[in-house]
Structure 1
């Protein structure tokens, strides 16, 4: 962790959404053949990862990720360095489920201590109902166990605040028309805007505009709708809220019914006591 530089931006809280978890698939001669050298008792291939929502780059605030696997796995502590535009991930094979410790290391400008998350590797279909388990079996046996999380930075130091809020476009992005020479690959004149956004020119300035359902490179937004491989969105949130509301209605009906039953039993008990006292 780098020594603090500058002052903290008081009264400010910034969050950045991301996804972490595992994806596993059983070995199958046709769809997922076992690679040479894999032990005979290994039944699945699996991946553990940390990445941005909608595959948005998060390496501007997250420098590296450490994955601590089961001690029976050779080299069970792995450090993955950030590569711009790529998720932090590692691929393995195995036969058993276990808890993975995921340690997040932030960029030096943050002066923040590493934080640790824990995730249970899922190799077999799971769910609240048999229908949910069956859906996984029908999906080629692929078991997806992902979690949505929001990284919160309370009163970040000024240099880190500038990094977090500098916008989707790199500082070198020019408002010149396409066809000009590129100053660099990440955002010069004539280059494409970051994934999830599109450029719009107004009064000689090129600004990023959020595309429908997409997010900007350094945005705290989440997609509006679900897309293949991207299960977290505003649409998902609304579906979960609806489920919670429906569950609340059921719970209230159950409570009301229980209160009526208790009242009836108390009334009956009172009648029996009065009858016994005569």
Structure 2
């Protein structure tokens, strides 16, 4: 069943902006891989942490954590069920993409191949399941879904830049090669496009019961951050701040509705 609301221009498959991110990611991946620049580029990016400090990259990289990314959807609870539904569908596709390739290829990460003395590691030094970057796929999936639902160059470019910084952080913290990041960027954005396309042609997920289940999921993720989820990057207070900021909009809407429904409330 197809829904009866308009699809924004940026959400149409013929709009070049829809395909810009995955096409650029694919082109960059080919250039890096075929030019044998993967190691040199990793070394360059990994050196950023020593120059800028670890905290900024730790804060950026956790935005690609699944629990954090789902929490970032909480402001849409009760306001944009279409975005939440599309994000859920896209997340399923992104998960299949990431774990399918990780399990199939089983490629080693930088800490498994390079001398520890030559690496700048921020957080856990993961060694297995390199390609593609799950954090990068997650953030590009989220950014893609939101960008497709808020058409406009400013929104799309800003979200793409933020997602790119999160992706680059995976090399800065020392656990992913640049080709992993590029594969995650392209795959995540394609998952967002496919998830949005499927969601707009499938009425599932817009019912009150489905949205209540989605809300419980997102609120549960926010609660997990509030109690101090250990991501290994030592930024629990940053994660709590994200949870608080993302919980405020749905809570304020809930209180406003209750106030409007209270007898004697004057409009």
Which category describes the TM-score, using the shorter chain as reference length? under 0.3
Structure that is richer in helix per residue = 2
Task: Return the TM-score normalized by structure 1.
Answer: 0.23
- The structure with more strand, counted as a fraction of residues: 1
- Return the index of the structure with the highest Cα Rg: 1
TM-score by length of 2: 0.24
Structure with bigger RCO (C-alpha 8 Å, 6+ apart): 2
